[in-house]
Copies of this chain bind each other. A is one copy, B any other.
Amino acid sequence: MVYAVNPMPRPRSLTHEDIAKAALKVIDRDGLAALAMRAVAVELGMGTMSLYRYVNDRAELEVHVVDLVLSTVDLKPPRKPWQKQIVTLAERVRDAIKAHPEVVQLAIQHRQDSVNSLRWGEAILEILTKAGVVNRVIALRAIIAYVTGAIQLDYRGPLHGRGTDIIATRDDFPLLKETAAQARMVAPMDEFRQGLEALLQGLSPL
């Protein structure tokens, strides 16, 4: 008796997005340190090892989380000068990540493996190309460096955060102290934008 060569087996009950959403829920609720295969499995109402049917290891799960967080980023640039276009795209990534602060680490760590992250890079390159920027290698890398660094800086030691307050009392670093005091006058939104605008202006001649 001849049977089917390819009988249809039990269908999958989860998508990668389902898993990413569950993981993100865990992170948002209990912090990045609480992100564990067991916790995600509980969130999904499955056994721990079931997750490994969808994901090779923890790292791959993290990539899916990053992709989920970045999936909301609108890549269509506004009708403005190219510098403003880049600033806008940069601010959108920053906002997407700030909506899930604990993901910062993952977003940077898995930048190269996240499709949505690469899509963003491609969008930036489109703007740079249309703008006629010649040295796009330097420009793109510098923009990525600044954006990732700034997002992280804002996470680890926000301008109006505890770290700044502490430094403002340290007499062993007089200039840092003075600057920390001045930091109170700077709007957090301006910080990111003005730094990036400076970088882009310096990049223009390239």
A contact residues vs B (CB 8 Å cutoff): 108-109, 111-112, 118-119, 121-122, 125-126, 129, 135-138, 140-142, 144-150, 152-153, 156-157, 159, 163, 166-167, 170, 173-176, 179, 182-183, 185-186, 190-191, 194-203, 206
User: For residue A190, which residues in chain B have a CB less than 8 angstroms away from its CB?
Assistant: 138
With A145-B146, A148-B149, A152-B148 as known contacts, state yes or no: A157 contacts B112, CB within 8 Å.
yes
Q: How far is the CA of A119 from the CA of B195 in the complex (A)?
A: 22
A-B pairs, top 7 by smallest CB distance, nearest first, are A149-B149, A142-B195, A198-B202, A202-B202, A145-B149, A125-B175, A201-B202
Contact of A137 among B186, B197, B206 (CB under 8 A): B186
Query: Complex formed: what's the CA distance from A34 to B182 in Å?
Result: 41
Q: Is the CB of B152 within 8 A of A108?
A: yes
Tell me what chain A mostly uses at the interface: helix, strand, loop, or mixed.
helix
Assuming the contacts A149-B145, A152-B148, asked whether A137 and B198 have C-beta atoms less than 8 A apart, the reply is: no
Residues of the B chain whose Cβ atoms lie less than 8 Å from the Cβ of A136? 179, 182
Residue numbers in B under 8 Å from A152 (CB-CB): 108, 145, 148-149
A14–B29 Cα distance when bound, in Å, is: 40
Least CB distance from A84 to B in Å reads 15
Residue pairs across A and B with Cβ atoms less than 8 A apart, 17 shown, are A111-B156, A111-B157, A112-B156, A119-B173, A121-B176, A122-B174, A125-B176, A135-B194, A138-B198, A141-B195, A142-B150, A142-B194, A142-B196, A144-B149, A149-B149, A149-B152, A194-B206
| CB <8 Å contact, A156 and B118 | no
> In the assembly, what is the distance between CA of A84 and CA of B116, in Å?
36
Docked Cα-Cα span, A85 to B79, in Å, equals 39
- Does A141 contact B191, Cβ atoms closer than 8 Å? yes
The answer for the CA separation of A134 and B182 in the assembled complex, in Å, is: 11
Complex Cα distance, B135 from A142, in Å, reads 21
Asked, given contacts A150-B145, A156-B112, whether A179 binds B140 with beta carbons under 8 Å apart, the answer is: yes
> What B residues does A175 contact at CB under 8 A?
122, 125-126, 129
